[in-house]
Structure 1
Amino acid sequence: MYEVTLKKGKSFDVGGTVFKKGVPKVVDTKLGNYMKDNPVFQVVEKPVENADSVSPSKPYTQSGLKKLSVAEHEEIIEALGGDPESVKNADQRVDLILKLQEEQAGE
């Protein structure tokens, strides 16, 4: 696992994963290895001791998600592999989180 942070530019899409400037994101080893020589990114190898931190132990609920802030919604969407810029309001963010969560549970 690697923690990748965009250093230059506003946002950057690599293989369907969207990076925003200054916002660290944990990626798998394959993507981290691909990106580590790119000067646009800061890539730091992370130990895999807590792989469950990306997906919650309890599933998100619609009522629980409605209590969260926009930044928290965006963080969850990114952690689930979605694009937070593809939705425009809180209801759409909540729907996207629930959809992404359901897709991951089916894998």
Structure 2
Amino acid sequence: MYTAVLIKGKTYSVMGHVFLLNQEKEIEKKVFQYLDGNEFFACKEVKAPADDSKTDGQPKEDEKSAKEEEPKEADEEPQQEQKIYTESELKGMNKTEQEAIVIDLGGDSAQLKDKSERIAFILEHQQQQEKTGE
């Protein structure tokens, strides 16, 4: 497992991930390799703790095959799992948080002049995604 934290700037979008300042995010190996060494990020590889006390030796084979399948599912989940924001939630967010959502929805936050335009964009694009099933 790999993680990255944006340490400079406000937001950063790369390979389907939107990073907000000082928020640690779990990433895939290819994203880690791309961001590692970038002065805007603190990247690290996190080793999963081995919990051998609960196993007697045989289930380890089953665990290995289950672990091999997990990354495929993990790669698909972030794309399918999209939070639906309400207007009141969006109004309570700061500009950086709203811009990150706009970017995640495929928009250009620089084209939106103010808070009300960002909120309208997000609500409209969420409805479109619900209709198309994305």
| TM-score, normalisation: structure 1 | 0.52
Aligned counterparts of 2:131 and 2:2: Cα–Cα separation in 1: 25
Tell me which amino acid in the other structure corresponds to 2:89.
L
Give the equivalent residue in structure 1 for 2:101.
Answer: 77
Higher percent of residues as helix? 2
Q: How far, CA to CA, are the matches of 2:36 and 2:11 in structure 1?
A: 17
Map 1:1-107 → 2, pairs under 5 A:
2-15=2-15, 17-45=17-45, 51=74, 52=77, 55=81, 60=84, 65-70=86-91, 71=93, 74=98, 77=101, 80=104, 82=106, 85=109, 87=112, 88-100=117-129, 105-106=133-134
Q: Kindly state the Cα deviation for residue 7 of structure 1 after the two structures are TM-superposed.
A: 0.9
Report the number of matched residues. 100
RMSD after superposition = 4.3
Q: Distance in 1 between matches of 2:24 and 2:3?
A: 6
Q: Larger C-alpha radius of gyration, 1 or 2?
A: 2
Structure 2 CA distance for aligned equivalents of residues 30 and 66 of structure 1: 35
Structure 1 residues 98 and 31, CA, compared in 2 at 3 Å: closer, same or farther? farther
The AA in structure 1 aligned to 2:120 is D
Mind listing any 5+ residue stretches in structure 2 that lack a counterpart? Answer: 49-69
Quote the offset at 1:22 in angstroms: 1.8
Q: Using a 3 Å threshold, how does the CA distance of structure 1 residues 93 and 79 change in structure 2: closer, same or farther?
A: closer
Query: What is the TM-score with the length of structure 2 in the denominator?
Result: 0.45
